[in-house]
């Protein structure tokens, strides 16, 4: 029985998860997967932090000022929003 390369297996699973995440985000936003990949790369944000930013944006109980303060606290959150806004404007 050959040895299992756990690092390669983990890297493959992470890449598959990233692709599924980008496909889901594309379906929700009507952006192309290549566009999403581009602004995720530009903003250098993790998938977990993208979800935090989107959750803040979607939070109906907070004012825009509260949302902006919270997004500033998310690593690369502002950079992600700027990249996203550049695709809309």
d(CA 68, CA 66): 5
d(CA 65, CA 34): 31
79, two tokens? 């950079």
User: Domain ranges in the chain?
Assistant: 6-88
Residues 14-48 pLDDT 10s: 778 888 888 888 887 778 888 888 888 888 998 88
- Most confident listed range (4-8, 25-29, 54-58, 70-74): 70-74
Residues in the chain: 89
pLDDT at 74: 95
What is the reported pTM?
A: 0.73
């Amino acid at each position: 029985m050959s040895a299992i390369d756990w690092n390669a297996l983990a890297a493959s699973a992470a890449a598959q998860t990233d692709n599924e995440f980008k496909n889901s985000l594309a379906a929700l936003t009507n952006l192309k997967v290549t566009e999403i990949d581009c602004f995720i790369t530009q903003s250098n944000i993790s998938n977990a932090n993208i979800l935090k930013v989107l959750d803040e944006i979607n939070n109906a109980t907070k004012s825009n000022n509260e949302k902006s303060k919270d997004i500033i606290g998310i690593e690369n959150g502002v950079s992600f929003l700027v990249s996203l806004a550049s695709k809309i404007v």
